[in-house]
Amino acid sequence: MKKLLFFSLFLLITFFYVSFAMAEGTGPAVGSGSSGGKSEPVTLTNPLGTGVTPQIFIGRIIKAILGIVGSLALVMFVYGGFNIMTAAGTAEKVEKGKQILVWATIGLIVIFTPVKYRAVVDSGQEI
């Protein structure tokens, strides 16, 4: 269990690693005195890109989360299949593997169904 927790934490850190942007001014440094005490205003560029609205930003976050959920579901499918394959006739291990596969499938359905319905509603198509 500790290995799974460590692996999940590693994936989370890997996918959500944040790099910090440093602001660069186009003019001389503030208070440098090279322009008679007056300095040009520093302009910052949007690190998310031009024309990024909060809706687009939140959509990108949701897309990243869905990618992680899909990856975790794949890991659970492999783990459930591994339990079934290595059961060696033990009914409890086979049942445990089946339960893992069933709950991973239910989790995917619960996560991705609203996303699909949202896409249909946004496109104006009938279900």
- pLDDT tens digits, 52-108: 787 888 888 888 888 899 899 999 999 999 999 999 889 999 999 999 999 999 999
In a domain, 96, yes or no: yes
Domain count of the fold of the chain: 1
> What is the signed CA dihedral for 40, 46, 52, 57, rounded to 10 degrees?
-150
Distance CA 30, CA 38 (A): 8
Distance CA 16, CA 48 (A): 15
Query: Among the listed ranges 12-16, 17-21, 50-54, 61-65, which one has the minimum average pLDDT value?
Result: 17-21
pLDDT in tens, 25-44: 555 555 555 555 567 888 88
DSSP 90: -
Distance CA 106, CA 70 (A): 12
Q: Domain of residue 98: give its range.
A: 55-116
Q: What is the mean pLDDT of the chain?
A: 78
Pick from 75, 80, 90: which is nearest to 10 by CA? 75
Q: Does residue 4 surpass a pLDDT of 70?
A: yes
In a domain, 20, yes or no: no
In a domain, 91, yes or no: yes
In a domain, 40, yes or no: no
Q: Does residue 11 surpass a pLDDT of 90?
A: no
CB 100 within 8 A of CB 79: yes
